[in-house]
Amino acid sequence: MRRSLVGALGVVLVNGTLLPAASAQTDLISRMKDPAQWPMAARDYANTRYSQLDQINAGNASRLQLAWTFSVGADRGQEAAPIVIDGTMYVVGPYAGPYPNRVFALDATTGELKWSYAPKPEPSAAGVACCDVVNRGLAFDNGKVFLNTLDNHTVAIDAGSGKELWHTKLGEINKGETITMAPVIVNGKILVGNSGGEMGVRGWVTALDENTGAIVWRAYATGPDKDVLIGDDFKPFYDNLKGKDLGIKSWPADRWQVGGGTMWGWISYDPELNLIYYGTANPSPWNANQRSGDNLWSTTIFARSPDNGQAKWAYQVNPHDLFDHDEINENVLVDLDINGQPRKVLIHPGRNGYMYVMDRTTGEVISADAYDFINAYKGVDLKTGKIIPNDEKTPLLGKTIENICPSAPGAKDWQPSAWSPRTRLLYVPHQHLCMNFKASQVGYIAGTPYVGAEVDMFAGPGGYRGEFMAWDPVARKKVWEIHEKLPIWSGALVTAGDVAFYGTMDRLFKAVDAKDGHVLWQFRAGSGFIGQPVSYRGSDGQQYIAILSGVGGWPGVVANAEVDPRVRNAALGFTGATQDLPFYTAGGSELLVFKLGNAAQDNDHAPAQ
């Protein structure tokens, strides 16, 4: 990549802090209020993935038809969310093909290509990526598009011309570090986290100045308080999280230095409280026998100041994680009436199978209810906040522990849910898998797998492997559900037309009634779906729905990479759960865009009755 920094810009003084004259927060928040746009992967800071558009509704969704398509030219896992700004769609491909992580700017109404940008990354990054070479999306602010590349660079691109403005290197491939997450912009800072927990990478979240690319702060997930950015303002709700340098003391000597806790998922932001929220990933290695203690601050939800990174509170979801139950999943910020009292909460669909509703001002767990079959744990103690382990499922060195539910990817992995303020329901795509788990001794060598476990995954009770459900966080129960034969690895979208969208790995893109879950429409694509659907309004006044088709990700590498489906413990054990996937789909790279057809037209893609 070439290096060219933007020149000095004017600043203004706000509450004693120097900020860019063109406030990033003002630009982004104004776009979030415009239903025509989809300005960030999650649509808004609250991570709702809710569109206020209602032209497409439960009464006419059966008329959806293909408007245009575009190939990103790399047939690997397509997890990115397109973003739409002022009539232009920006989309990024995976780290594969002749132009890894290539960015495209397209007319959002016609599909015409305006420009493309191709970084010149390190090819060797693909060799250390844990679970496919995916990218989860771009960010936008103040005329710039921001890209994270797998080889640990964040890049600023001029949104009008596609010219690179600056790039900053954040991590090292030779340590096993990569970046797969979509960046998030808050108060003029680009927030980025790293991947690589399966390589013993030490996790971090980094803030960069959006105008220069300079690193403003970095908060680690392990180590001393000064590295974790824990200071006098840190006030966790639970007593077991109070103490000095717990990021060292909760580990065997020096193990925190290769302890995982990476952050490759989703970041939420509450502008009123001026706090960001995110979860950290599993501790390293998977073999918990090699890391006694709670292993802080892995599998932890943090609340931090976006301005200086200082932690406000934290809650460890899975102390001394036994099963690779990262908690990088989204935290959806909503205000709910609970027991007759208004509460500012975050909803966290845990990888461990529990649906957490937490007070986002304090970190208190208000409720934690099972949303899938669980036997690895016996519940969550709401007085202490601690999960209750099932000792019968504790992995022992050299012994296969059978039928652990949920499996290593959890009841839900990265695939983001959607919240409707109309129905007051959370729409959750997730898997339904169990596993056999055998722990083994492993040594750390930088840049190589540091796992220490053999895993074999399979369908959970009932024989299905995926579910799309609606959850009521106040009533604390599932309202309706749809079972799928394969894991659901795509994100969710819900609209003001009371339509929810998701994709399946066997090539179906579905629109369902948000109130009762019945299928309104479906489309059979060329490859399976693991992408994130979005909605926007075109220059023609029409509402559009867009999603990338292209199977892959952790569960899909058996269909698009050189993995033998007969080896059940391949792909860190996921191959056992998806051995049949190559019979349903192969890799793909297609952006699909839909809109309503004429009422008089027959719809070839209406669901079978």
* Beta-bridge partners for 91: 104
Q: What percent of the chain has pLDDT over 90?
A: 88
The DSSP-derived string for 412-445 is S-S---EEETTTTEEEEEEE-EEEEEEE------
pLDDT per residue over 52-93, tens digit each? 999 999 999 999 999 999 999 999 999 999 999 999 999 999
Average pLDDT over residues 24-50: 92
75 assigned to a ligand binding site: no
Q: Are 97 and 73 in contact (CB under 8 A)?
A: yes
Look at residues 431, 515, 510 and name the one whose alpha carbon lies nearest to residue 470. Answer: 515
CB atoms within 10 A of CB 339: 7
Look at residues 477, 476, 480, 479 and name the one whose alpha carbon lies nearest to residue 338. Answer: 476
Q: What percent of the chain has pLDDT over 70?
A: 94
Look at residues 559, 431, 585, 582 and name the one whose alpha carbon lies nearest to residue 506. Answer: 585
324 is catalytic: yes
Average pLDDT over residues 391-407: 97
136 assigned to a ligand binding site: yes
In the chain, what are the helix, strand and coil shares in percent, each to the nearest 5? 10, 35, 55
Q: CATH classification of 35-596 is 1.20.1250.20, yes or no?
A: no
- Which pLDDT score is estimated for 335? 98
Token code pair at residue 146: 């921001």
Average pLDDT over residues 559-568: 84
- Which pLDDT score is estimated for 9? 33
Res 23 pLDDT > 50: no
* Beta-strand runs (E) in 452-589: 453-459, 466-472, 477-484, 493-495, 499-503, 508-513, 519-524, 534-537, 543-549
Res 18 pLDDT > 60: no
299 assigned to a ligand binding site: no
Q: Could you tell me the sign of the dihedral formed by the alpha carbons of 80, 177, 294, 270, in that order? A: negative
- C-alpha 50/C-alpha 245 separation (Å) is 40
Average pLDDT over residues 437-464: 96
Q: Are 195 and 264 in contact (CB under 8 A)?
A: yes
- Which pLDDT score is estimated for 427? 99
101 assigned to a ligand binding site: no
Residue of 606 and 319 predicted with greater confidence: 319
- Domain coordinates of the chain in residue numbers? 35-596
- Which pLDDT score is estimated for 125? 83
- C-alpha 465/C-alpha 440 separation (Å) is 27
17 assigned to a ligand binding site: no
Average pLDDT over residues 278-303: 98
Least confident window among 176-185, 516-525, 530-539, 596-605: 596-605
- C-alpha 520/C-alpha 498 separation (Å) is 11
pLDDT per residue over 124-169, tens digit each? 888 888 888 999 999 999 999 999 999 999 999 999 999 999 999 9
198 assigned to a ligand binding site: yes
79 assigned to a ligand binding site: yes
* Confidence band of 292 (pLDDT split at 50, 70, 90): very high
Res 407 pLDDT > 60: yes
Phi, psi (degrees; rounded to nearest 5) at 398: 80, 5
- Between vectors from CA 488 to CA 513 and to CA 394, what angle results, nearest 5°? 130
- Which pLDDT score is estimated for 363? 98
Q: Are 373 and 460 in contact (CB under 8 A)?
A: yes
* Confidence band of 566 (pLDDT split at 50, 70, 90): confident
Q: Which residue has the tokens 């943090």?
A: 302
- Which pLDDT score is estimated for 25? 58
* Confidence band of 6 (pLDDT split at 50, 70, 90): very low
Q: Which of 132, 307, 324, 456 is catalytic?
A: 324
pLDDT per residue over 467-481, tens digit each? 999 999 999 999 999
pLDDT per residue over 306-359, tens digit each? 999 999 999 999 999 999 999 999 999 999 999 999 999 999 999 999 999 999
Q: Are 559 and 486 in contact (CB under 8 A)?
A: no
- C-alpha 153/C-alpha 173 separation (Å) is 11
- C-alpha 224/C-alpha 311 separation (Å) is 13
Phi, psi (degrees; rounded to nearest 5) at 520: -95, -30
- Which pLDDT score is estimated for 563? 81
Q: Are 222 and 247 in contact (CB under 8 A)?
A: yes
Average pLDDT over residues 216-223: 98
Mean pLDDT rounded to a whole number for the chain: 93
